[in-house]
Amino acid sequence: MATLRLGDIAPNFEAETTLGHIKFYDWLGDSWGVLFSHPSDFTPVCTTELGTVANYYPEFQKRNTKVIALSVDGVESHHKWIKDIEETQNVTLQYPIIADESKEVANLYDMIHPNADDTFTVRSVFIISPDKKVKLILTYPASTGRNFDELLRVIDSLQLTANYSVATPANWKDGEDVVISPSIKDEDIPSKFPKGFKGIKSYLRMTPQPNK
């Protein structure tokens, strides 16, 4: 099986979820997507993660982004677990959890790393653009919960840089200055970036975020 890489087309699949049967591409539609996996149901770190995503759900909606979780347990187990998540995290789960008992989706997305665990999925994250391309891949060990503020930050960056000839610098947050692409000539900057720019080096030119 080939390893999934940035820029690849995200594999399509059909699956049972806590919100019914889905065809992944149809479910995504024209939205961005976040697919994130969990080692198994009724695990402590996963419980906090799913609760956090439920709390952040409006932020994903603002960004035209759908979220979907996955573990290799069944739908019935997922529904029981959701009760625990909602009780302990004081949330209502608005998004689906894939029941991947056959590990079909886990294998499509290379979520099982035998040297870490040959049965359960690692904490994988895939951000998928509306054209179904993989834009981000993150893999966390089972012992480390994810930072969902970082995922929102990355989505902001991906959506910005998809529409403008810019990149976002280290620790950038929405609203801060961005880097002008090296492919843009100095003489073309005024027409493309009317807010002006600061030249630090010939290859490092900063400009206010163009869509703010």
Write out the H or E segment, with its range, that includes residue 99: strand 97-99
Enumerate long-range contacts of 7-10, CB under 8 Å, 24 or more apart.
Answer: 7/133, 7/134, 8/133, 8/134, 9/132, 9/133, 9/134, 10/35, 10/126, 10/128, 10/132, 10/133, 10/134
Question: What secondary structure does DSSP assign to 28-51, as a single string?
Answer: HTTSEEEEEE-S-TT-HHHHHHHH
Tokens found for residue 160: 């910005």
Element (H, E) at 156: helix 148-161
Is 129 within 8 Å of 96 (Cβ atoms)? Answer: no
Strand partners, 128: 33, 134
Active site residue 46: yes
Q: Exactly one of 46, 50, 70, 122 is catalytic; name it.
A: 46
Residue whose token pair is 């059909």: 14
Secondary structure element (H or E) that encloses residue 106, with its range: helix 104-108
Q: Which residues are catalytic?
A: 46
